[in-house]
Structure 1
Amino acid sequence: MNQTIREVKSQKKNQKAKTFQKRWCCFHNQNLKIEKKGDFYTVAFPTLEKKIGVPVVVRPYQQTWLDRIMNGTAKQGTAVLYKKKKKWYVAIPITFEVKRRKETKVMGIDLGLRYIAVASVGTKSLFFKGNPCAFIRRRYAALRRTLGQAKKLHMIRKIGDKESRWMKDMNHKISHQIVRFALANGVGVIRMEDLAGIRKRAASAKEAGRSLHSWAFHQLQTMIAYKTEMSGIRVEWVNPTYTSQTCKCGHREKENRNGIHFTCKKCGYTIHADLNGAINIAKAISGFAAQPSARVTGAPPIGVHLNPMGRGDDTPLNLGVV
């Protein structure tokens, strides 16, 4: 008997423990009802006996979507009830129609390393410097190295999660300001570049670009895309080839650009290099990118479902006492 037990234990040492995937409750739109009493919102769930109303913690930017569900201008989809870090959440996707804006102005957005984003429409522009973000990323990198030397792997993962949340928050803020800028300037179309090759722009490992080469540019474009679509602005994708080297006079030369400075070797025209890129992207000087719908996966087109119960698609309603 003892020998048998030892053999079984020996075999189990080399086996991985089985894990079970959590399956949360799903509620179709007819089984979940959103109600408002005064300034408070409740979500009614069916139980074995009856429906019960549970108060939800609603952030200010979520109230608009809940109100639209209740007044019929948005249709709710299948909600998911789940638990995360000892708190219960409900994620509610919605479908709604957006009217296209009639404005004809086109805005170009250039993404880069020294400047995370530069937007241009007409004679107006908007810049987002990369240096402050690069400084913070270097601090995270230094902290990871220190923790790595101490072999604190759990803390390294924790720091990585914190950095990812910070980057996501920054992208939300940048995309929000870009959309506000577009609406304020009567933009009907936003053009962005294909992301291929964006990491090749760092001229040296010593510059700030080293800390931004892994910036979540795809995530930023996704956020800009769905927020502009929600505002009725059309998004188009262009080929960024030569947008940083081409002058408004039509002369194209690699030496036209030197860092953030652009000076045409033919006509002498001078401008900020990233702003020049944004202007050329707005003009789509190298044509449009192939299969534009594949450039940003996850960006909801007009009329399809979206989970806007948060700043984008990841902050659902918190169930709890309000």
Structure 2
Amino acid sequence: MTELTKTLELKLVEPTAHKRRKLRETREAYQQALHDAFDADCATQTEANDIVVEHDLSGYAKNALKQYVPQLTTTYNADELHDDHPVRFTNEGLRLDHKPENAIEWYVKIPHHEDYHLWMPAQPNPKQRDWLEALNAGDARMGESRLFERDGGWYLHVTATRDVEDGSEVSAEEQMPIGVDIGEASLVTVCHRDDHGSPTAPKLWADEGKTIRRLRKTYFTAKRRLQTRGSERIAESFGDDVWRQIDDVFHHVTREVVEYAESVENPVLVLEDLTHIRESMDYGEYMNRRLHGWGFAKIHAQIRYKAVEKGIPVETVNPRNTSKECHACGEVGYRPKQATFTCPNKACWVSEYQADVNGAINIADRYLSGESHSREHTDGDDSAEDGGRLTAPQDTQADATQQETLGTYAS
């Protein structure tokens, strides 16, 4: 096993004037406590505690300071302090909450003095969503967090650690690509080719797709009725329960996808690069809402981090026409029904084929043809996550706080 540690960055989304004041109070109290303890040459946690205990800080910030100041004086031999040290909190101080039904999905609880906590919406680096999913599921461990202000915005750096299996060194020629097709009828479909090049061992999670569709329809219908009656609090509680059920289905399916890969020798899971999935969807208002809210990015992220934990590589390929081309001859066909692909090429042995399996094979073949590439995002462009969110109809407060993430991201 190998221990991986990564620093995750989240931008706090437009804090209110009240919350900005509380953040600045925390920062100023922390800076003062840090300088007081440093100027007193505190070389032990006990010595630092005697200084910082008098300051108006949460216990999580005080405990982080008690550990940090002795390191400055004894380990790093620092002779002066900069003025812009981030506010540090121990791993127990920060809490994450995931609200996939909201326009801003992630929320963080930031400790304040006298057990007063600030719950704030936060926008993560889209490239790090798999790590956030792992933290949220308890499959990664949260370490120290650091709060700081940059270019007028407030940010959190959160340390996350998880254990992963050591992957064996296998050449690309020895790898077995497994195509992963994420859809609406079948939530996920996987398939690969055998040693003779024939599609083999497809697996579809169609029942789970039905379950998700039912849960989402129940949620949308009930929320509209409850909001009409003015029962906002009941609607929110009901929504939380429904989205927990959806998340449970996602975790169950993505875990089985990785187990499928483990049953194949030298597997590599191949996903579609959905960076521009929102832009490519235009099926009318009703279908757009359903597809945009299907959870593509969430399923991607969960497959990624669970595969990494098992030492299984994950690649992405261009998604263009993977659902429209025939996996046997490459002819562009059509789908007379959701689950059926029809090839128009009279010379092709394929006449009709299961559509999701056809898509999964095409995805795997894209990797074999050398079209794989790492998933890339431009800073500030989180279209993949926008397109894959489990987005529900938004209330005015959520709409007012939705904002694009700006600035550089943590590595």
Distance 2:373 2:364 in 1: 17
- In the other structure, the counterpart of 1:282 is 364
* Cα separation, partners in 2 of 1:16 and 1:231, compared to 1, 3 Å: closer
- In the other structure, the counterpart of 2:52 is none
Correspondence list, 1:1-322, <5 A: 20=22, 25=60, 80-82=91-93, 91-92=142-143, 93-94=160-161, 96=163, 98-101=165-168, 102=170, 104-122=175-193, 123-129=200-206, 130-195=209-274, 196-197=276-277, 211=290, 213-255=292-334, 258-266=337-345, 267-269=348-350, 270-284=352-366, 288=371, 291-292=374-375, 294=377
SS state at 2:22 partner: coil
- In the other structure, the counterpart of 1:315 is none
Which stretches in structure 1 are left out of the alignment for 5+ residues? 1-14, 32-77, 298-322
Deviation at 1:189, TM superposition (A): 0.7
SS state at 1:191 partner: strand
- In the other structure, the counterpart of 1:314 is none
Distance 1:96 1:138 in 2: 37
* Cα separation, partners in 2 of 1:187 and 1:114, compared to 1, 3 Å: farther
**Is the Cα–Cα contact under 8 Å of residues 323 and 358 in structure 2 kept in the other structure?**
yes
SS state at 1:131 partner: helix
SS state at 1:108 partner: strand
* Cα separation, partners in 2 of 1:224 and 1:214, compared to 1, 3 Å: same
Q: Work out the number of aligned pairs and report it.
A: 233
Give the partner amino acid of 1:127. Answer: L
SS state at 1:121 partner: strand
**Is the Cα–Cα contact under 8 Å of residues 194 and 240 in structure 1 kept in the other structure?**
yes
Give the partner amino acid of 1:20. Answer: K
Q: Which has the higher contact order (CA 8 A, sep 6+)?
A: 1
Deviation at 1:127, TM superposition (A): 0.9
Segment drifting more, 197-206 vs 117-126: 197-206
1:273-300 superposed Cα distances (whole Å, 9 cap, x missing partner): 1111000101117863655254989xxx
Segment drifting more, 98-107 vs 261-270: 98-107
Deviation at 1:94, TM superposition (A): 2.6
**Is the Cα–Cα contact under 8 Å of residues 259 and 273 in structure 1 kept in the other structure?**
yes
Distance 1:249 1:17 in 2: 61
Deviation at 1:160, TM superposition (A): 3.0
- In the other structure, the counterpart of 1:302 is none
Distance 2:303 2:251 in 1: 8
**Is the Cα–Cα contact under 8 Å of residues 245 and 257 in structure 1 kept in the other structure?**
no
Distance 1:98 1:154 in 2: 44
**Is the Cα–Cα contact under 8 Å of residues 260 and 274 in structure 1 kept in the other structure?**
yes
- Say which structure is richer in helix: 2
* Cα separation, partners in 2 of 1:291 and 1:183, compared to 1, 3 Å: closer
- In the other structure, the counterpart of 2:71 is none
Deviation at 1:177, TM superposition (A): 0.7
Distance 2:248 2:263 in 1: 23
**Is the Cα–Cα contact under 8 Å of residues 341 and 354 in structure 2 kept in the other structure?**
yes
SS state at 2:187 partner: strand
* Cα separation, partners in 2 of 1:193 and 1:131, compared to 1, 3 Å: same
Give the partner amino acid of 1:109. Answer: V
SS state at 1:134 partner: helix
Distance 1:275 1:221 in 2: 18
| RMSD of aligned residue pairs (Cα, Å) | 3.8
Distance 2:214 2:353 in 1: 26
* Cα separation, partners in 2 of 1:271 and 1:199, compared to 1, 3 Å: farther
**Is the Cα–Cα contact under 8 Å of residues 111 and 118 in structure 1 kept in the other structure?**
yes
* Cα separation, partners in 2 of 1:157 and 1:281, compared to 1, 3 Å: same
Distance 1:121 1:24 in 2: 53
* Cα separation, partners in 2 of 1:20 and 1:290, compared to 1, 3 Å: same
SS state at 2:256 partner: helix
Which stretches in structure 2 are left out of the alignment for 5+ residues? 1-15, 27-57, 68-88, 96-108, 110-114, 116-137, 144-159, 194-199, 386-411
**Is the Cα–Cα contact under 8 Å of residues 108 and 278 in structure 1 kept in the other structure?**
yes
* Cα separation, partners in 2 of 1:176 and 1:165, compared to 1, 3 Å: same
